[in-house]
Amino acid sequence: MKEEELEKRNIAKKQIPLRVSPALYAELMKWAEDDFRSLNGQIEYLLTECVRRRKGKEE
């Protein structure tokens, strides 16, 4: 993806509140660190992958 497209996507991002249990938070944080991502980046990655896989099954 071109840098301009990435910038447009970042501008259009929406913020959502998210509540998770302390245990889930700890697991996500560890996973994010293992993948060299921020926690927010890891959650966004996981959600994006889930949506991508779901779309693949619908076809």
The reported pLDDT for the residue numbered 48 is 93
Which residues of the chain are modeled with pLDDT < 50? none
Q: pTM for the full model?
A: 0.71
The reported pLDDT for the residue numbered 3 is 67
Biggest alpha carbon distance in the chain? 38
What's the CA gap between 3 and 54, in Å, rounded? Answer: 27
How many CA atoms lie less than 13 Å away from 16 in the CB half-sphere?
Answer: 10
The reported pLDDT for the residue numbered 58 is 73
Cβ contact 38:29 at 8 Å: no
The reported pLDDT for the residue numbered 14 is 86
